[in-house]
Structure 1
Amino acid sequence: MNLNHLQYFVKLAHLEHYTKAAKDLSITQPSLSHAISALEEELGTKLFEKQGRNVVLTKYGKIFLKYVEKSLDYLQEGIDKTKALTCSTSGVIDLGYIYTLEAEFVPMIVRRFLKENEDKNFGFTFSSSNTKSIIEGLKNERFDIGFCSMVEDENNIEFIKVKEEELVVVVPKNHELSKYKEIDLIKTVGYKHIAFTKSSGLRPVVDNLFKKINKKQDISYEVEKDESMAGLVAEDFGIAVMPNIPFLKYFNVDVIKLKSPVYSRNIYMAKLKDKYVSPAVDEFSKFVLKNCNSL
């Protein structure tokens, strides 16, 4: 069904006069007559009938008009929404990020971006999750940008390093390892460990650290979120190797710097390669790259 024909139909239904409707639509009267005839043929019914020099809707034309007007209004709403989301001065950026970034990094970078673009109407949606879910969210376009660990063999996703995270050993308060300010990972062998789930981007990083010393974690529990890990450690369910994030100071734990083996724990901005993004997403991506060294 032709969109123009539907718009012509609504105009004629309101003005009830072919000449006036054609003039308002800036088309010829024969073109309007042809459009209405095509609609009637497609529907298999008469939409208008003559009434003196005018035309009026038939019973079935009145029914059809209600649905056409609703459809055109809904379509216009979609047009307006799409334009608002993709114009150069407004739009929404859908962010996905790992749990360790939800307290400081993401709020800080978003606040800086919005402050620098006070003259624009940019908005955000926020969602914290594990790296696996963030990658899936990028693929199905739930997220425009993700902040997560790098994942091997994801050839359609670009990973750009934006941040380094320090890893520490977290133990219950006054644990026998608490005497150390710095510690070699080998000294944690023999203790029960709280580990991240296999869906976490940090799990392979920690596993590789133990491979470097030819040992394995003695894992008692697996968790997804850092808060859960810190809470279990505080209640003496085990010790943990995890990022040194600010909220650890609110738990009844001791935090020990990890001295060896040497490691690299990086956070990346992830986005789909060769994919159209809105001006808002493009602006935010460029802002992160420009400012990542100061974060």
Structure 2
Amino acid sequence: MELRQLYYFVKVAKKEHVTQAAEELHVAQSAVSRQIHQLEEELGVKLFVQKGRNLQLTQVGQLFLKRAEAILADLERAVVEIHEFLDPEKGEIRLGFPHSLGISLIPQVVAAFRKLYPNVKFRFKQGMYPSLIRDMIKGEIDLAFISPFPGDHEFVCGEVLLTEELYAILPPGHPLSDESAIDLKQLEHETFVLFSEGYSLRPIVWEACQRAGFTPNIGFEGEETDTIRGLVAAGMGVSLLPEMALHYTGPLQPAKVRINNPQVTRTIGLIRRTNEKLPLVAKVFHGFLIRYFNDRRHQ
């Protein structure tokens, strides 16, 4: 069995199509088909079955995929560790984070870190809460910013870095837009612009409205903080967003108003795999982040 066969197998399993896998691998379709066939012959099982124009993993194929991904992830980590051993300041950090942190927080901390370690590379992966947990468990990322912090979890552990306040955002000219603070109950009859299902900010806003005594009337849903902010600024409704998602200086801006009752916050944490040593360069970055946010809390 060759590593090339594992690479080809995993790619076909992800694409469910030999042609698409071959295009992404930059090899001939016949080469991919031949390697998959040889792999199946060596294992003595069928890994794929034809389903229309696509290929579908058999039950044993699904089992083999998990093992193949783990083998390739271990190999990738071994290569990284060797490079770090030769020069710890020239490694690569695989970092995951939710979209809402990509506006200002991630650029800030990465820029600050690279002032100290200019040769370190980053591989970023954005995703929703479930996908970040999944990618961490599968070994596709080394560290991840996540919100809310998961607390007790069998496979990941970490630290809360900060707790961030959420603000009401209102269309310009809204009757409450000039208030210094409001109760969330005052938005009971408004149309809300919320994140789609699966985004961590959605249940935070939903539960806050429930605590305030009402169920939000959802008129629009989006998947980016820019979309939420823009729709509110255009007069399509109201919403709640964390302060760091409001660092935008474009011409179309919503009004930002503090919420007194109930106070709405989110936790932002840093997670890693439980009982697994971080790659050296990721360990350096982890220590940097703990100091960075500790200093921010004491400013």
The 8 Å contact of residues 165 and 264 in structure 2, kept in 1 or not, is answered as no
The 8 Å contact of residues 98 and 146 in structure 2, kept in 1 or not, is answered as yes
Residues 165-188 of structure 1, C-alpha deviation per residue, up to 9 Å, x if partnerless?
221111111112213221110001
* Structure-to-structure mapping, 1:44-193, within 5 angstroms: 83-85=82-84, 87=86, 88-118=88-118, 121-149=119-147, 150-151=149-150, 154-193=153-192
2:105 partner letter:
F
* Structure-to-structure mapping, 1:207-218, within 5 angstroms: 207-218=206-217
Q: In 2, Cα distance between the equivalents of 1:258 and 1:181? A: 9
Instruction: From the superposition, tell whether residues 182 and 80 of structure 1 become closer, same or farther in structure 2 (CA, over 3 Å).
Output: closer
Q: Please, which moves more after superposition, 77-86 or 244-253?
A: 77-86
Consecutive unaligned residues of structure 1, counting only runs of 5 or more, are 2-76
Instruction: From the superposition, tell whether residues 195 and 111 of structure 1 become closer, same or farther in structure 2 (CA, over 3 Å).
Output: same
CA shift for structure 1 position 86: 5.5
Instruction: From the superposition, tell whether residues 229 and 276 of structure 1 become closer, same or farther in structure 2 (CA, over 3 Å).
Output: same
SS of equivalent to 1:281: helix
If the length of structure 2 is used for normalisation, what is the TM-score?
0.66
Q: Please, which moves more after superposition, 256-265 or 226-235?
A: 256-265
Residue in 1 aligned with 2:37? Answer: none
Q: In 1, Cα distance between the equivalents of 2:215 and 2:295? A: 36
Q: Please, which moves more after superposition, 168-177 or 204-213?
A: 204-213
Matched, 1:222 2:259: no
CA shift for structure 1 position 159: 3.4
Residue in 2 aligned with 1:67? Answer: none
Residues 2-34 of structure 1, C-alpha deviation per residue, up to 9 Å, x if partnerless?
xxxxxxxxxxxxxxxxxxxxxxxxxxxxxxxxx
Residues 218-238 of structure 1, C-alpha deviation per residue, up to 9 Å, x if partnerless?
111222211110111122221
CA shift for structure 1 position 263: 3.3
Q: In 2, Cα distance between the equivalents of 1:210 and 1:154? A: 27
Q: In 2, Cα distance between the equivalents of 1:102 and 1:79? A: 29
Residue in 2 aligned with 1:197? Answer: 196
SS of equivalent to 2:122: strand
Q: In 2, Cα distance between the equivalents of 1:182 and 1:78? A: 49
Q: In 1, Cα distance between the equivalents of 2:222 and 2:151? A: 22
1:214 partner letter:
G
SS of equivalent to 2:276: coil
CA shift for structure 1 position 85: 4.7
The sequence identity of aligned pairs, in percent, is 23
Residue in 2 aligned with 1:247? Answer: 247
Matched, 1:262 2:267: no
Q: In 2, Cα distance between the equivalents of 1:165 and 1:123? A: 28
Q: Please, which moves more after superposition, 83-92 or 95-104?
A: 83-92
Instruction: From the superposition, tell whether residues 222 and 78 of structure 1 become closer, same or farther in structure 2 (CA, over 3 Å).
Output: closer
SS of equivalent to 2:247: helix
SS of equivalent to 1:165: strand
Residue in 2 aligned with 1:29? Answer: none
* Structure-to-structure mapping, 1:6-17, within 5 angstroms: none
Q: In 1, Cα distance between the equivalents of 2:275 and 2:125? A: 24
The 8 Å contact of residues 170 and 238 in structure 2, kept in 1 or not, is answered as yes
Q: In 2, Cα distance between the equivalents of 1:184 and 1:255? A: 13
The 8 Å contact of residues 97 and 134 in structure 1, kept in 2 or not, is answered as yes
CA RMSD of aligned residues (A): 2.4
Of the two, which has the highest radius of gyration? 1
SS of equivalent to 1:277: coil
1:141 partner letter:
G
Instruction: From the superposition, tell whether residues 79 and 290 of structure 1 become closer, same or farther in structure 2 (CA, over 3 Å).
Output: closer
CA shift for structure 1 position 92: 0.4
The 8 Å contact of residues 151 and 201 in structure 1, kept in 2 or not, is answered as no
Count of equivalent residues: 218
Q: In 2, Cα distance between the equivalents of 1:184 and 1:290? A: 35
Q: Please, which moves more after superposition, 246-255 or 88-97?
A: 246-255
Q: In 2, Cα distance between the equivalents of 1:185 and 1:219? A: 15
2:145 partner letter:
F
* Structure-to-structure mapping, 1:29-40, within 5 angstroms: none
Residue in 1 aligned with 2:51? Answer: none
Residue in 2 aligned with 1:291? Answer: 292
SS of equivalent to 2:91: strand
Q: In 2, Cα distance between the equivalents of 1:137 and 1:236? A: 37
1:218 partner letter:
N
